[in-house]
Amino acid sequence: MERYNFKTVEEKWQNFWQKNKSFKTGLDKKKKKFYCLEMFPYPSGKIHMGHVRNYTIGDVLARFKTLQNYNVLHPMGWDSFGMPAENAAKENNLDPKDWTEKNISVMKTQLKKLGLSIDWDREISTCSPDYYKHQQIFFLELYNKGLIYKKENYVNWDPVEQTVLANEQVIDGKGWRSGETVERKKLSQWFFKISEFSDELLNGLDQLDKWPNKVKVMQKNWIGKSFGCEIDFKIKANTSVDKIKCFTTRPDTLFGFSFLALSVDHPISKFYEKDKEYQKFKQQCSKTGTTEESIAQAEKIGFKTDLIAINPFDEKSEVPVYFANFVLMDYGFGAVFGCPGHDQRDFEFAKKYNLPIKTVVKPKDFKGEFKVKDEAYVGDGIIINSSFLDKLSTPNDAISKAIEEIEKRKAGKKKINFRLKDWGISRQRYWGCPIPIAYDDNGDYITVPINQLPIKLPENINLKTKGNPLNHQEEWRKIKIDGKIYKLETDTLDTFVDSSWYYLRFCSPNNKSYGYDFDEIKYWMPVNQYIGGVEHAILHLLYSRFFMLALKHKNEKFVSKEPFDGLFTQGMVCHETYKDKNNNWLYPDEVFSDDGKNYFKINDKRERVIVGPSESMSKSKKNVIDPEKIIRSYGADAVRLFILSDSPPEKDIQWSEQGMVASYKFINKFWLLHKKIIKKIKMNNGSIDTYDLDVFTNKLIKKISTNLEKFNYNVIVANIYETYNFLIKEIEKDYKSVLLKENYLKILTLMMPIIPHIISEAIKDLDYNKKLAWPIANDKYLQEKYVNIVVQINGKKKSLIKIEKNLPDIEVINKIKEDEKISNILSDKNLLKHIIVKNRLVNFIVK
RNA sequence: GCCCUCGUGGUGAAAUUGGUAGACACAAAGGACUUAAAAUCCUUGCCCUUUUGGGAGUGCCAGUUCGAGUCUGGCCGAGGGCACCA
């Protein structure tokens, strides 16, 4: 029998799908829709295994929903602005545009070879003026809504990328892409007012019940809502300062107040700039790096001012004011009131500077006198030593009473504070979306009128200049607005802006006048299922949620709220790491083994390989497998089958050559089985009723359908193997041909989402030309005639008895007692009672 | 330090949501076919017993229950996120 030739079959069907536009999005708006979206890739050169996994998972879902007769939107595009293009172009003297376009064409070809059911007619690319024109229009819109502003502040400066990073892009004090230590620099920057929506972004999370809890928790922590109050502390001193504002969540501990601490960036610091000691202190603070270790180990240090702060609850209580290294300017008001008894950080500070440590909270059940000694007591309890707050329980009663009292004394008011900061969107880079702002000679700016958009990037420019290349484009910068010459803004937008609305663009990718068509997004949005890596849990997903709220703001027509109804975060693809004895990484391709040990070849000699732990595939560790090569050797179906098998999609998967080979063998085995079945059907001489097969098929429909809904794709692969194991035995029976064919078509349809090429070819052999539909399980076959009853004695399984379904209890018991083994056990025991779980189990309780 | 998630064979994992633990696969060992190898197929998989059979068993300890991988409490371990957030 001829062997399955995946090459010709896969190519044939991929051509067929392309020619027939098989995955073109339907236009019938009366049909139920399903918007399936995977995070679009950055066109870095070639696809990697992470892409294969991500897009296979999405494709299975899209194909399943299509078979279920949904109108499916399954598009693909390119997140094509960004620094790698600029850097690569700089190195090779290319235009970033050419580099990007070349990569897109390579990756598109590769994705097609996976057999993805993508509507390529909707392809978009964020670096195309057709796309970023609309982004510039959105910029103007948000600007006019007051959601964009410019301010000068300290920024995270990446010295390698020569650009500003958002807080979220700084990981352990290092740039998220460059890995270089980030510097503090003062710059004038554009900001999105994301903090305006803090509460909505937080509350919206509650509606997202199809999101992983993990992601919601991360966003919740990031938004960081805390309840408390602001307090104006009166200042006694000879300077012009008369009060300092603080934010606190613990006004109930105000009687434990023993110092006030300020950030070195606090406005008051200007009175101390000339003080030599202060300068020294400030420098010391800046030296405390931003790395993980330095933060963890940083000693709490302070600089004592001549200011004295007064406790609003006790005018006689006066405490010193310090500058302290642990106070951040961009949270609260850059000032904290120190209560060493009940805050560990304040406690350490007080110990160092010998400040009083007063105990004002005592644990609820503590008997006798409670005193803070070796560490702060931060738990709940009863207020003590606090005048009118005494005996109140904290947090609840004491905090509200304290706030009430503060408001009565006009010393402050109730306040909610968020950790979420505004999103800095300026980047000093060429390869990004230009910001539609122009400056006059005085440095005052205006927005560029809509009819002059898009502002296109200049082409063929010199990138090897220092800093932002656009700064050197004098001609390009000139723009005439209302007859007057202005100079364009040279900052470009953070690429996270590009990906914050692309899901809207996919709904109407060719709409010329505006970024989206209202009717289209009304039908398609929200995305029903969004699939991507968990590394975007905060950045991209929070920004996208913000963007929807910003578009909706003051726009009654825009009804959608959350962009992504369902979110699925897939795990990473891992591989063992290999090194030689000099600690140089080795590619898996270089490693071979013949006697159970691993070697690689060097100068015609073999040398032992040191095998390291399995880690997420990364170019730097060389533990990568090239998808294209794998597809070439085993075919797309086998790759899809393997990448879905073994591990659940949300968990990391180990790449294994053996596993890959097993999937490949299965594809071939399956084809041989298929040919046998076709032969049986063609012979058309069977006489056996298909009851057993019907039962199997209908159970399978139920299993695979529910497993698809629950993303249990690894179990579906197991279901497919089970199906093979079942059919290879069943095929010996001479089933009635028509019925066999009917069952077999259903079974093939169930496998279509996973291995579409071979299944398409197999269905062709059935001479079936109608539109495929997802089979529905017939309840008749799910109700079995016989059931296996587990017989337990005192909860332990003793026997398994096959009886008719739905027998009355008494008959079940009688049948079981006929069982020799059970009756033997029961004969010398005292039967106390029995528990019957219908059609499943009988438990005898004996003594 | 705080928050979240997870602990099941040699390995990746299943388990109808409280009811047959280990489906499905990888690896291993033994066997069949073959001159041989590859490919393919079959068998085995903890302890005691020659078999029949019996027993233990889902990180550890307790609890709830007729019955716990699944529920509750405590402990141990692994992974991830946040990190001076006042």
Strands A243-248, A591-593: pairing is: unpaired
CA distance A783 to A761: 33
What's the CA A774/C1' B23 distance, rounded, in angstroms?
Answer: 25
The yes-or-no verdict on residue A542 having pLDDT over 50 is yes
Please check whether residue A717 is in contact with residue A57, taking contact to mean a CB–CB distance below 8 angstroms: no
CA distance A476 to A470: 8
pLDDT tens-digit profile of A614-629?
Answer: 889 988 889 999 999 9
pLDDT at A692: 85
The predicted model gives A428-456 an average pLDDT of 95
Query: Is the shortest CB-to-strand distance from A658 to strand B under 7 Å?
Result: yes
Nearest to A329, CA basis, from A406, A252, A245: A245
pLDDT tens-digit profile of A511-525?
Answer: 999 999 999 999 999
CA distance A691 to A736: 11
The predicted model gives A1-21 an average pLDDT of 91
Which nucleotides in chain B have some atom under 7 angstroms from a protein Cβ? 3-5, 11-15, 19-21, 23-27, 39-41, 54-56, 66-68, 80-86
Max mean pLDDT among A151-155, A364-368, A427-431, A499-503 falls in A499-503
The predicted model gives A560-566 an average pLDDT of 91
Structure tokens at A733: 């029976």
Query: Is the shortest CB-to-strand distance from A244 to strand B under 7 Å?
Result: no
pLDDT at A323: 94
Please check whether residue A340 is in contact with residue A320, taking contact to mean a CB–CB distance below 8 angstroms: no
What's the CA A232/C1' B23 distance, rounded, in angstroms?
Answer: 67
Query: Is the shortest CB-to-strand distance from A5 to strand B under 7 Å?
Result: no
What's the CA A635/C1' B35 distance, rounded, in angstroms?
Answer: 35
Residues 669-708 of A with CB under 7 A from strand B: 669
Query: Is the shortest CB-to-strand distance from A213 to strand B under 7 Å?
Result: yes
pLDDT at A801: 81
A531 forms beta bridges with A38, A568
Which nucleotide does the CA of A832 lie closest to, via C1'?
A: B66
A493 forms beta bridges with A426
What's the CA A50/C1' B28 distance, rounded, in angstroms?
Answer: 31
Query: Is the shortest CB-to-strand distance from A258 to strand B under 7 Å?
Result: no
Query: Is the shortest CB-to-strand distance from A826 to strand B under 7 Å?
Result: no
pLDDT band at A291 (very low <50, low <70, confident <90, very high): very low
What's the CA A651/C1' B59 distance, rounded, in angstroms?
Answer: 20
Which nucleotide does the CA of A248 lie closest to, via C1'?
A: B86
pLDDT at A244: 94
How many of the other CB atoms lie within 10 Å of CB of A397?
A: 15
Q: Which carries the bigger pLDDT value, residue A75 or residue A298?
A: A75
Whose CA is nearest the C1' atom of nucleotide B14?
A715
The predicted model gives A698-716 an average pLDDT of 95
Rg (CA), chain A: 34
Q: What percent of chain A has pLDDT over 70?
A: 97
Please check whether residue A561 is in contact with residue A552, taking contact to mean a CB–CB distance below 8 angstroms: yes
Respond yes or no on whether the N-terminal peptide bond of residue A395 is cis (omega within 30° of 0): yes
pLDDT at A699: 93
pLDDT tens-digit profile of A75-127?
Answer: 999 999 998 899 899 888 899 999 999 999 999 999 999 999 999 999 999 99
The yes-or-no verdict on residue A56 having pLDDT over 70 is yes
What's the CA A747/C1' B31 distance, rounded, in angstroms?
Answer: 34
What's the CA A759/C1' B22 distance, rounded, in angstroms?
Answer: 31
CA distance A351 to A205: 41
pLDDT band at A292 (very low <50, low <70, confident <90, very high): very low
pLDDT at A1: 55
Which nucleotide does the CA of A213 lie closest to, via C1'?
A: B4
CA distance A575 to A586: 12
The predicted model gives A194-202 an average pLDDT of 94
pLDDT at A290: 46
The predicted model gives A480-500 an average pLDDT of 95
SS3 for A216-247, per residue? HHHHHHHHCEEEEEEEEEEEECCCCCCEEEEE
pLDDT tens-digit profile of A818-829?
Answer: 777 777 777 777
DSSP state of A205: G
pLDDT at A288: 59
Q: Which carries the bigger pLDDT value, residue A374 or residue A124?
A: A124
Q: Exposed, middle or buried, A510 (CB in 10 Å: 0-12/13-18/19+)?
A: exposed
pLDDT at A164: 79
CA distance A457 to A778: 60
Query: Is the shortest CB-to-strand distance from A665 to strand B under 7 Å?
Result: yes
The predicted model gives A543-550 an average pLDDT of 96
Measured CA distances, A61 to A70, A529, A534, A716, A748 (Å): 11, 9, 19, 12, 16
Give start and end residues of each alpha helix (H) in A413-569. Answer: 474-477, 495-498, 502-505, 518-524, 539-552
Backbone phi, psi, residue A688, to 5°: -80, 140
pLDDT at A168: 64
pLDDT band at A835 (very low <50, low <70, confident <90, very high): confident
Residues 576-635 of A with CB under 7 A from strand B: none
Which nucleotide does the CA of A299 lie closest to, via C1'?
A: B84
Residues 316-345 of A with CB under 7 A from strand B: 325-329, 331-332, 334, 336-337, 343, 345
Which of the residue ranges A286-290, A458-462, A464-468, A606-610 would you say has the lowest mean pLDDT?
Answer: A286-290
Please check whether residue A627 is in contact with residue A645, taking contact to mean a CB–CB distance below 8 angstroms: no
Query: Is the shortest CB-to-strand distance from A417 to strand B under 7 Å?
Result: yes
Nearest to A432, CA basis, from A94, A42, A126, A134: A126
Query: Is the shortest CB-to-strand distance from A831 to strand B under 7 Å?
Result: no
What's the CA A341/C1' B21 distance, rounded, in angstroms?
Answer: 53
Q: Which carries the bigger pLDDT value, residue A258 or residue A816?
A: A258
Residues 84-143 of A with CB under 7 A from strand B: none
What's the CA A607/C1' B38 distance, rounded, in angstroms?
Answer: 27
pLDDT at A2: 67
Max mean pLDDT among A254-258, A460-464, A465-469 falls in A254-258
Task: Tell me the residue type at A115.
Answer: G
Query: Is the shortest CB-to-strand distance from A195 to strand B under 7 Å?
Result: no
Query: Is the shortest CB-to-strand distance from A787 to strand B under 7 Å?
Result: no
